[in-house]
């Protein structure tokens, strides 16, 4: 399986950072998270943990032949920027960086007002 162009989906939550490499059709090539790299608890949510996880998953992807990526980032976590920096440092060409964080257009109905 020699893919030279792939998509990367980075989900940065407040507690973890998930990285998934897929091919153009959306089939997963490899994935990882701050937990799979060995971080536990509060340290999983740090930018350093995110950087380490991205480096590990990028190595796996480069072994499969990935050279150029489209990056899709979702979520407000602290690992967002660190993940992008780590990917650039690993030597992958980024042809696209898109933020796909879901934004509520009005959300659910608020709770009723407190009386008293």
Tell me the pLDDT tens digit for each residue of 6-57: 999 999 999 999 999 999 999 999 999 999 999 999 999 999 999 999 999 9
What's the CATH fold of domain 5-99?
Nucleotidyltransferase; domain 5 (3.30.420)
CA angle 111, 76, 108 (to 5 degrees): 20
Displacement of CA 106 from its chain's centroid (Å): 26
Assessment of whether the complete model's pTM goes beyond 0.85: yes
Yes or no: say if 22 and 29 are a contact pair by the CB < 8 Å rule.
yes
Q: Is the dihedral of CA 26, 97, 8, 60 positive or negative?
A: positive
On the question of pLDDT at 2 being above 70, the answer is no
């Amino acid at each position: 399986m020699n893919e030279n162009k792939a998509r990367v989906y980075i989900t940065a939550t407040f507690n973890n950072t998930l990285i998934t490499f897929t091919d153009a059709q959306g089939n997963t090539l490899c994935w990882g998270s701050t937990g799979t790299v060995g971080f536990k608890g509060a340290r999983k949510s740090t930018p350093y943990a995110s950087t380490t996880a991205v480096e590990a998953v990028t190595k796996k992807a480069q072994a499969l032949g990935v050279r150029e990526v489209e990056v899709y980032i979702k979520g407000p976590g602290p690992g967002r920027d660190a993940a992008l920096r780590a990917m650039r440092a690993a030597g992958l060409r980024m042809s696209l960086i898109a933020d796909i964080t879901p934004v509520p257009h009005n959300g659910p109905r608020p709770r009723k007002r407190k009386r008293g």
